[in-house]
Amino acid sequence: MASSVKIVLRKKKISDGTYPLAIRITLDRKTTFFHLGNNLKEADWDVANQKVRKSHPNSVRLNNLILQKKAEASDSLISLQGNKERVTLGAVRKEVSPSKQETSFFAQAAIFIDNMQKAGKYNRIKTDQTRINHFKEFLGNQDIAFADINVLLLKRFQAYLKSTRNISERTIVNHLLIIRTIYNQAIKSGLIDNKNYPFGKGKIAIKFPDSVKMGLIPEEVKTIEALELPTNSYLNHARNIWLFSFYFAGVRISDVLRMKWSDLQNDRLFYAMGKNLKAGSLKVPDKALKIIDQYRQEERKNDLIFPELKVLDSLDDTYNVQRKISYAVKRLNKALGEIAKMAELSKPLTLHISRHTFGNISGEKIPVQMLQKLYRHSNITTTIGYQANFINKTADDALEAVIGE
Radius of gyration for the alpha carbons in the chain, expressed in angstroms and rounded: 26
User: Start-end ranges of CATH 1.10.443.10 in the chain?
Assistant: 218-395
**pLDDT greater at residue 362 or residue 266:** 266
Q: What is the pTM of this model?
A: 0.58
Per-residue confidence band for 99, with pLDDT thresholds at 50, 70 and 90: very low
Per-residue confidence band for 319, with pLDDT thresholds at 50, 70 and 90: confident
Backbone CA torsion sign across 274, 275, 279, 282: negative
Query: What is the share, in percent, of the chain residues with pLDDT greater than 70?
Result: 80
Which long-range contacts does 350-353 make (Cβ < 8 Å, 24+ apart)?
351/241, 351/242, 351/245, 351/253, 352/253, 353/214, 353/215, 353/216, 353/242
Q: What is the pLDDT of residues 34-88, one digit of tens each?
A: 777 778 889 999 999 999 999 988 788 788 888 888 887 787 777 777 665 566 7
Q: What is the pLDDT of residues 237-294, one digit of tens each?
A: 999 999 999 898 888 898 899 999 999 988 888 877 655 556 677 888 899 999 999 9
Whether residue 102 has pLDDT greater than 80: no
Whether residue 336 has pLDDT greater than 90: yes
- Element housing 372 (H / E): helix 368-375
| Selection from 321, 307, 313 nearest residue 274 by Cα | 321
Q: Which residues of 88-103 are buried (b: 16+ CB within 10 A; e: fewer)?
A: eeebbeebbbebbbbb
User: CATH number for the 218-395 domain, one of 3.40.50.1100, 3.30.230.10, 1.10.443.10, 3.30.565.10?
Assistant: 1.10.443.10
d(CA 177, CA 169): 12
Half-sphere exposure of 292 (CA within 13 A, CB side): 21
User: CATH number for the 106-188 domain, one of 1.10.150, 3.40.50, 1.10.3470, 1.25.40?
Assistant: 1.10.150
Q: What is the amino acid identity at position 173?
A: V
Helix (H, G, I), strand (E, B) or coil at 25: strand
Q: What is the amino acid identity at position 249?
A: A
Q: What is the pLDDT of residue 210?
A: 65
Q: What is the amino acid identity at position 126?
A: K
Helix (H, G, I), strand (E, B) or coil at 300: coil
Q: What is the amino acid identity at position 263?
A: D
User: Start-end ranges of CATH 1.10.150 in the chain?
Assistant: 106-188
